[in-house]
Structure 1
Amino acid sequence: MDRSVIMVDAGYLYAAGGQLCCGTRSRADLVLNASLFVQRLADRVRTGLALQVLRTYWYDAARDGIRTEEQQTIAGQHDVKLRLGRLNGQNQQKGVDALIYRDMITLAQHRAVADIVLVSGDEDLHEGVRTVQDYGVRVVLVGIEAVTGFNQSRELVYEADRLWTLSADDLHGVFDRRGLPQSTSAVTQGEPAVRSTSHRATHAAVAFATQWRDQAEETELMELLSDRPRIPRPLDIELLTAVEREIGQNLRNDEQLKRNVRAAWWGVIGGGHHSAQ
């Protein structure tokens, strides 16, 4: 039984990942490369847990049970099982957490897996986590770095056996802003090209923030976090200058892009020196 399953709450992935990588939680404004996300997470499971992935369960919602074109593509991927809840009149997902809960319990009861890797932030799942642990299943909770505050239930985090936190760098190439021009550059070594100014700016901000964080003293980091979300003026100028140099574009009059850059900065800095493992 040395195998695992991955369970992805698509609503959480879009909201948290879109905010971190593109500065928006609006699903209509986002393009998600689901196959790349599944591949990267499966690779991490194989290396980090030394387990094979039986399959990935992808939980989403649809109006009247009719799959979108994107959901059809996801359903057609190898070793991916699409589970659909409902969308109500306010475009709110209904029944998704119940589907996740059911699959967790069924797999645990039948001793089908050793580990469940869960991408979610929903507090309603913490009882399900506790139950499958009673069957001897380890639960690895996967979160996405929050731009501000927290984007996962504290109860869910406390209940899980391990926590993996994905940074903007981990999600590089997974998200794009809908309608932005995309590069036609070739893909190199399996990594997608940076496809928009927003992506390149976010990537540059993440690189700068990561380097700064790794070199900062603990007291310096704590002082910075205590004044969050304000970035000290000299540091803010240094951040924007580094991004401008990387993308070859002046950010002075682009307030949205500057917000995205600062959001990417806090996505890295807000998690402390190291992501939880």
Structure 2
Amino acid sequence: MSLVRSDCSPVVARRYAMLIDVGYLYAAAAEVLLGATSRREYKVDAEKLINTLITRAADQLPGGELLRVYWFDAARDRVPTVDQRVIAAMALVKVRLGNLNSRGQQKGVDAMIRTDLEQLARHGAISEAILLAGDEDMVPAVEIAQAYGVRVHVWGVEPPYGTNQAERLLWEADTLDEISAEFCKPYFTKLGTAAAASAKIVGAPMAEPEPQQPSPASVFGGRHSVAVTMSAADALEEAEMARPSFVRSTTGDKFGQDTVTGIGEYVAHKWILTRGRENIADLLPGPTLPTVIDKELLVEAEKELGYSLREHPGARIWVRDGFWERVNREFDIEG
């Protein structure tokens, strides 16, 4: 139920934006639903959650036009996770990423929210803003947006007790709305002990480079760990050294199953190196990949082969099989 101030008359909406602090949304919902304190303890069906939030906004601002959803999250070195890449491909959704430090703390997210809200108001891009956040740092941006004539509707997640939003932020809002635990429940799933433990593993495997014509088995069989401080550039260099020689010598001819499967393994190997185990763990248990990730896998494979797979559905299956063989081996999953 909406908690709208008695002194606020109904809003006639024109164009509005939704600005969502994902860290607040996830933490607050996970606490009230699951008693979870770490993001490694649960998974979120973000696509469905976002679409439901959009529907809720349309119901509360009838006749309004959604400009877009701003999805403020964080990632290590600002390298997007699998879930974030899927969200970024959604229509009318813009992912903004702050940095996630080694202690799991978000850096730069609040500043991005404030900047976007102020800029949208300053340039007259919106007349209404829905802000799903809880931090008092949002107050100056709310005040500035209101000074430009924007009505700011602050949404919060039902707390298990007390409040999970700053009192000053609630004071400054034009209207308030509380998202219930029941509303969030369909989109949050607590992970089992094994899955949560797997998500906590940090590091990535590194294959030993072979100087002369390495086989896929020799390239992908190694299980040595890489220091967590390895940069993306260093990881790509490692992946390049581990690249099978048959990839380099491709001439554009059609390839057999072993070669194409090896390409799928190589792409998975590179992904694990550059994005880390925690990111790849988001794909498990498989074998179906999110559409946006599946497309990227096939594009990467085609680049390595120098050959289009659009007319070869069997070869696309081999690429996916190779990808999952590598991932399953990395996570000790029996096929």
State the distance in 2 between where 1:25 and 1:162 align: 29
Q: Does 1:72 align with 2:85?
A: yes
Residue of 128, 134, 140 corresponding to 2:141: 128
The letter of the residue matching 1:70 is D
**Higher RCO (C-alpha under 8 Å, 6+ residues apart):** 1
Deviations 1:223-272 (A, max 9, x none): xxxxxxxxxxxxxxxxxxxxxxxxxxxxxxxxxxxxxxxxxxxxxxxxxx
Root-mean-square deviation (CA), in Å?
1.5
Query: 1:71-128, CA deviations, whole angstroms, 9 ceiling, x for partnerless residues?
Result: 1111111111000111122110010000001100110011111111011101101111
- Paired residues for 1:82-97 under 5 Å: 82-97=95-110
Q: In the aligned structure 1, how far is the partner of 2:48 from the partner of 2:34? A: 17
Tell me the residue number matched to 1:106. 119
Deviations 1:157-214 (A, max 9, x none): 111111110111111311111238xxxxxxxxxxxxxxxxxxxxxxxxxxxxxxxxxx
Distance 2:14 2:77 in 1: 38
Query: Partners of 1:136 and 1:16 in 2: how far apart?
Result: 30
Q: 1:2 maps to what in 2?
A: 14
Instruction: State the Cα deviation string for residues 8-33 of structure 1 (Å, max 9, x = none).
Output: 10100111010112221211011111
Structure 1 residue ranges (4+ consecutive) displaced by more than 4 angstroms after TM superposition: none
Rounded to whole Å, the distance in 2 between the matches of 1:140 and 1:38 is 17
Q: After TM superposition, list the pairs within 5 Å mapping 1:177-256 onto structure 2.
A: 177-179=190-192
Matched residue, 1:58: 71
Could you tell me which runs of 5 or more consecutive residues in structure 2 were left unpaired when the two chains were aligned. Answer: 1-12, 194-335
Identity of aligned residues (%): 41
Q: State the distance in 1 between where 2:15 and 2:47 align.
A: 20
Query: Hey, what's the Cα distance between the residues in 2 that align with 1:174 and 1:52?
Result: 25
User: 5+ unaligned residues in a row in structure 1: which ranges?
Assistant: 181-277
Q: Does the CA-based 8 Å contact 1:3-1:52 persist in structure 2?
A: yes
Look up the match of 1:39. 51
Q: Secondary structure at the match of 1:111?
A: coil
Q: State the one-letter code of the partner of 2:149.
A: G
> What is the CA–CA distance in structure 2 between the aligned matches of 1:25 and 1:151, rounded to whole Å?
14
1:148 CA drift (Å):
1.8
Mapped to 1, the partners of 2:178 and 2:25 lie a distance apart of 12
Count how many residue pairs are aligned between Structure 1 and Structure 2: 181
SS of alignment partner, residue 183 of structure 2: coil
Question: Does residue 1:18 correspond to 2:30, yes or no?
Answer: yes
Contact 1:3 1:115 (8 Å CA) reproduced: yes
1:61 CA displacement: 0.9
Within 2, Cα distance between the matches of 1:127 and 1:149? 24
Structure 1 contact 5–55 (Cα < 8 Å) conserved: yes
- Structure-1 separation of matches of 2:91 and 2:130: 18
- 1:105 maps to a residue whose letter is E
Normalised TM-score (structure 2): 0.52
> What do the CA deviations read for 1:32-78 (whole angstroms, capped 9, x no partner)?
11122211221122111111211100001111121111111111111
